[in-house]
Amino acid sequence: MDDEARNRPTRPFKVPQPVRKDGAGGPDFGPRDVLRDLENPNMLVPPATDAGLLPNMRFSFSDTHMQLNQGGWSREITVRDLPIATTLAGVNMSLVPGGVRELHWHQQSEWAYMIWGGARITSVDAQGRNFIADVEKGDLWFFPAGLPHSIQALSEGCEFLLVFDDGSFSDLNTLSISDWFAHTPSDVLAANFGVPAETFEGRPDSQLYIFEDRVPGPLASAAVESPYGTIPLSFKHKLLAQEPLRTPGGSVRIVDSSNFPIARTIAAALVEIEPGAMREMHWHPNDDEWQYYLSGQGRMTVFGGNGTARTYDVRGGDVGYVPFAFGHYVQNTGTETLWFLEMFRSDRFADVSLNQWMALTPRDLVQANLNATPELMGALRKVKWPVVKYP
């Protein structure tokens, strides 16, 4: 290959420059990461309405540490990576067929969404009641803080998102059964279980975290009967199977303690935005929002009051964050459907729609406040449309 051929780009693209249409800005000759700039057109050239000092509110799982084990992997976005995200932390995990996230527990509640594949989840509560169920794509689970649990992939393997109600949580810092065994003398284990100390010679010498195992048999073969019965409130919910609220441009499925009673500390919405549509201008009157983008690409602008606004490019695999009460919207800027989860450390989902607020306020007042045209006043909706798209 001659020099000319070697230097010719194999995939032609226009190198983007930090220059706005009105001429503001100027060329960037480097050093620079052009691939990242191509992914972040609204960071390179922010909308002219962006202004002021708002902190980073987006972080990609692609920029995190990967924990690779025999049996699967995990990575997490916590307050260490995204300092503003103090209320919730997230873990993205994948297990190979039969792979196990070992028996463990922690001080935080765990909410999860299955992205693909299937898994068997187990838990036991303080009354000696148990819960053993299989989850598939689009299903949720919720393990209340302090209760022990496990996750094992079924025949396809699986990938899921875990969300914890504490931004400083780390999944690598939980209480594990193997870790406790490793740090308990054999004679104490012998006394506890009533078996000889040699029984424990083969125990793991440290936390396993994720390990490889055989694919488990059918659910019926895993049944364990408790004399105290099964846990009465299901730890599982079929979110994707739930009938969504459909509006022009997309759909929303809301899940909180009203339809998934055990999920007392984490509420969520699964949002679908078609190309050209947007999650309407709104805010949440109860808590910060932690987002996980499942697929597609878009941009989110956050309004922080006092003249501040900032736009973040988002795509599948990103986490976004919006502080309590800050105004925001999310636009689909790509050619495929944008799917994301909005999550809140709350027992209920709540949002305030800018459009609905204006429609339910005396017209003269709204008109005078914004010098609004009759056209705008006529377009206001008393009914909330979480996702909108107009011709």
Site string for Mn ion, 53-92 (x = CB under 5 A): ----------------------------------------
User: Least distance to Mn ion from the beta carbon of 201, Å?
Assistant: 28
- Phi/psi of residue 354, each to 5°? -60, -45
User: Least distance to Mn ion from the beta carbon of 171, Å?
Assistant: 7
Sign of CA dihedral 168, 172, 178, 184: negative
- Phi/psi of residue 220, each to 5°? -60, -35
Distance CA 104, CA 173 (A): 10
Angle at 75 between CA 73 and CA 81, to 5 degrees: 165
| Nearest-CB residue for Mn ion | 110
Which residue's CB is nearer to Mn ion, number 45 or number 140?
A: 140
Name the segment binding Mn ion (CB under 5 A); options: 4-12, 109-117, 200-208, 212-220. 109-117
User: Least distance to Mn ion from the beta carbon of 288, Å?
Assistant: 10
Question: Which residues are designated catalytic?
Answer: 342
Identity at 7, one-letter amino acid code = N
Question: Applying CB under 5 A, what is the total number of residues that bind Mn ion?
Answer: 2
Which residue's CB is nearer to Mn ion, number 357 or number 367?
A: 357
By CB under 5 A, the residues from 315 to 334 that bind Mn ion are none
User: Least distance to Mn ion from the beta carbon of 27, Å?
Assistant: 36
Nearest alpha-carbon partner for 233 in 314, 133, 155: 133
Q: How many CB atoms lie within 10 A of CB 227?
A: 6
Angle at 182 between CA 180 and CA 186, to 5 degrees: 100
By CB under 5 A, the residues from 204 to 263 that bind Mn ion are none
User: Least distance to Mn ion from the beta carbon of 289, Å?
Assistant: 5
Here the tokens at position 150 are 């496990």
User: Least distance to Mn ion from the beta carbon of 148, Å?
Assistant: 9
Number of H helices, E strands in the chain: 8, 24
Here the tokens at position 260 are 């998934």
By CB under 5 A, the residues from 130 to 169 that bind Mn ion are none
Name the segment binding Mn ion (CB under 5 A); options: 73-81, 103-111, 132-140, 202-210. 103-111
Does residue 110 touch Mn ion according to CB under 5 A?
yes
Which residue's CB is nearer to Mn ion, number 165 or number 289?
A: 289
- Tell me the CA end-to-end span of the chain in Å, nearest whole number: 51
| CB contact at 8 A, 341 and 292 | yes
Which residue's CB is nearer to Mn ion, number 170 or number 242?
A: 170
Which residue's CB is nearer to Mn ion, number 110 or number 125?
A: 110
| CB contact at 8 A, 354 and 281 | yes
Which residue's CB is nearer to Mn ion, number 44 or number 330?
A: 330
As a whole number of Å, the CA-based R_g of the chain is 25
Site string for Mn ion, 273-292 (x = CB under 5 A): ----------------x---
Distance CA 373, CA 334 (A): 31
| Interface residue list for Mn ion (CB under 5 A) | 110, 289
